[in-house]
Chains A and B, each alone.
Chain A
Amino acid sequence: MFYRENGQFKTSYVSDTQIFPILQDRWFVAALLAVAFVAIPLLGSDYLLRALLIPFLILSLAALGLNVLVGYCGQISLGTGAFMAVGAYAAFNLMVRISGLPLLVALVLAGLIAAVIGMVFGLPSLRIRGLYLAVATLAAQFFADWVFSHVPWLTNGSSSGSVTAPNLQVFGLAIDTPVRKYLFCLAILCVLALAVKNLVRGRKGREWMATRDMDVAASVIGISPVRAKLSAFAVSSFITGIAGALWAFVHLGSWEPAAFNIDVSLKLLFMIIIGGLGSVMGSFFGAAFIVLLPIFLNQLPGLLGIPASTSLISHLEFMTFGVLIVVFLIAEPHGLAALWNTAKNKLRLWPFPH
């Protein structure tokens, strides 16, 4: 009734190829952006911003990066945590060693360094694929863990391997309040998400998807697998590197190599599997599922006024979370994004499905 495209004619190529071809979608996204950029900073509490939304935004960004590699290019990676760590420590070292370096420049440089490291660890993907590649990228994970805890130069000689983010500012504006931190992360996420969306709709994205679906066929029609795979590794690591730097600088403030251990890599992989492989939207759904749902489940007994011990709540949280993962994967193996699409298609015909 409300969601149908009757009367919306596409009369030019531009209107045919836009990201949101349906008017209602454009309104929805505009409203979402307005809520995210205006309403939430005005109304959101400290807790909402600092404990829920900032981690959600940053991990969405990391999941988006991983989705480029796994979802679009089909290269399974277990080294995301490592690329995040590279981004975080690179940004830290740049800021500490080059005085007066602007934060945004440091972030971009950190992303580029992560991209280079990502390409190096992506080299095995030219020879091996599937689960074997996953094992190879695991090497990146352990290598990063080891390097950052054993090379004092990288942590600026910190005795416990834990480093602290310097004071953050952009164009002379200090990023110190939760609202500013939130807006900073949101802005970066929007820019990068738009870039990824356009990349995957363009030539590069088609190369990735062709490689993912069948690399032999892709090379027969003139796509260089080397370039497709390495560019996916580079773009993916660039984004996860920036996400890592944000996670360290904006969210944690002070971190040790363990903040980017194998758990992070697995968590991100789960995010995109549950959210939807090969879908920009899915990265957000997955991050919300993995980041926000456990916290919500943990607080649910308290909100309902059910007295329960801390350990019981915690165990219930694990169990419910596990059950929900299984339920969602059975209900929709292609992830929450596919569920979302199905709902949208149904809505187009609702309430007269025939």
Chain B
Amino acid sequence: MNALHKTALAALVGLTLAATLPVNPAAAADKEQFFPVLVYRTGPYGPNGVPWANGYVDYLKMINARDGGINGVKITWEECETAYATDRGVECYERLKSKGPTGATVVQPLSTGVTFALTEKAPKDKIPLITAGYGRSESADGAVFKWNFPLLGTYWTAADIIMQDITKREGGADKLKGKTIALVYHDSPYGKEPIAMLEMRSKLQGFKFIKLPVTHPGVEQKATWLQVRRERPDYVLLWGWGVMNATALKEAIATAYPLNQMYGVWWSGAEPDVKDVGEAAKGYNALAMQYGAGIGKVQQDILKYVYDKNQGTGPRDMVGQVLYNRGMYSAILAVEGVRRAQEQYGKKPMTGEQVRWGLENLNLNEAALKRLGIEGQLRPLRTTCEDHMGSSWARMQTWDGSKWVMHDTWYQADMQIIKPMVRDAAARYAKEHNITPRDCAKEMTSGS
């Protein structure tokens, strides 16, 4: 045996020893609530994934530091990098789903593609799926999608609200007749979600709707914007994510397309999207999922209990950014789901099934929002067996060259258009999967 072999052998023995050492102190394990955290901190979507992940984890840290957990149940979590890829997302889900004393509490993949895959898997494992502001639009129908919670809005409500704002700007529902509206979208389930809604609106309001897909990751958009130059649409809706957003804005400027006629979805309206373009992106509009950037009471608590003790996940100045806040809201909704379930089942770690009940009976009224320190940031939200979305409030914001300026008008999606669409799509899904929709009227009376 020569020296090299000896070193290799020693290293191997060392590794094996290290691997067998107990890593997790299992003492307090029975009073813990485990949160899997599916994130992407690398790759072309990393710039947008990082603030979301930091907000999510920081809130969990803050709840542990400030309140000692959820009613005394300590929160534990583990991150897993999905790189926004469906297969890695599924692997992460499988890796984390049975950790902790009660298994995974809720899964929030922050990817519509992963959501589609997990929608098939989560019901079998009895783990609820929160997709705040993304995911399958028809999953708002809780009677069919028992385990999905697209809280705070879906892409159908988002597209509807953007169209409402454009309609208002044009001065009436009939004013859009003959106009052209283009959708520049990420060619993935995420980008394609709003198409059904916009096609419906184009039929109703008589505008011409053109679809301009951009392939992943979206750094090459010359052909797309050539088409914009040729068609000269009156409005361009942007459904991008990651590097695609900044690239789209740069291409729009290069095409001399007026940015104030460009509307982004709430995933195309954060700091990483406009930062590089800066002053030149002035006038670009984007939807805000209720609240944009800012620091309220809950963010101050995070700064006080987490960052002042050098426990912060990311840089301090990221706290309060648009996507940071959105990651934090996602964590708040998950924690509140657990809290609601504890009211029903006792102050102990909750199983996925119990948290599902909690999420379905969530009632965040003004008082609850005040208690959470997010008054003025989110509007009241209430879920039921039929409605897994809770609310669809949103506002518009405009980039003024250095910061996002929020508009005053609050919009709610037009449920007269959306409800039948959700019902039809959900019914079709139920039929394909042999799911018998739950009778919500019956559950309401027997459940409480």
Contact = CB atoms under 8 A, between A and B. Distances in A.
Interface residues of B, number: 46
Contacts of B117: 252-255
Nearest to A312: B41
A253 B120 contact: yes
Chain A contact patch, size range: 35 or more
B83 interface: yes
B81 A313 contact: yes
Contacts of B343: none
Contact of B432 (A47, A164, A309, A310): A164
Contacts of A165: 120
A160 B39 CA distance: 23
A55 B87 contact: yes
B216 interface: yes
B342 interface: no
A46 B94 contact: yes
A51 B120 contact: no
B86 interface: yes
A161 B189 contact: yes
A258 B216 contact: yes
Q: Is the interface of A mostly helix, strand, loop or mixed?
A: helix
Interface in A276-321: 295, 298-299, 302-305, 309-311, 313-315, 318
B188 A304 contact: no
Given A47-B95, A311-B42, A164 B21 contact: no
A207 interface: no
A314 B83 contact: yes
A311 B42 CA distance: 6
B282 interface: no
Interface stretch (B163-171, B190-198, B228-236, B258-266): B190-198
Contacts of A315: 42
Q: Is the interface of B mostly helix, strand, loop or mixed?
A: helix
B90 interface: yes
A159 interface: yes
Contacts of B39: 310
Nearest to B136: A160
Contact of A254 (B23, B46, B97, B120): B120
Interface string A35-59: 0000000000011001110010000
A93 interface: no
Nearest to A294: B88
B433 A160 contact: no
Contacts of A162: 113, 116, 189, 192
Interface in B61-118: 78-81, 83, 86-87, 90-91, 94-95, 97-98, 112-113, 116-117
Nearest to A298: B81
Contacts, number: 106
Interface string A4-32: 00000000000000000000000000000
Interface in A248-272: 251-256, 258-259, 261
B192 A261 contact: no
Given A164-B120, A305-B18, A311 B41 contact: yes
A253 B121 contact: yes
A160 B192 contact: yes
Contacts of A261: 216
Contact of B86 (A161, A164, A259): A259
B98 A164 contact: no
A258 B15 contact: no
Contact of B433 (A167, A259, A305, A310): A167
A169 B195 CA distance: 34
Contacts of B18: 304-305
B434 interface: yes
Nearest to A307: B23
A310 to B, nearest CB: 4
Given A252-B117, A256-B113, A47 B94 contact: yes
A51 B96 CA distance: 11
Contact of A160 (B23, B78, B83, B195): B195
A308 B97 CA distance: 21
A261 to B, nearest CB: 7
Interface string B31-45: 000000001011000
Contacts of A219: none
B27 interface: no
Interface string B12-56: 000100110101000000000000000101100010001001000
B98 A47 contact: yes
7 contacts: A167-B433, A254-B119, A254-B120, A256-B189, A302-B23, A309-B41, A315-B42
Given A47-B95, A251-B90, A305-B21, 14 more contacts: A51-B94, A51-B95, A159-B195, A162-B116, A162-B192, A164-B429, A167-B433, A251-B87, A254-B119, A255-B86, A309-B41, A310-B41, A310-B79, A313-B81
Can you list the 7 inter-chain pairs with the closest CB atoms, starting with the nearest?
A253-B120, A51-B94, A311-B41, A159-B196, A160-B192, A305-B23, A310-B79
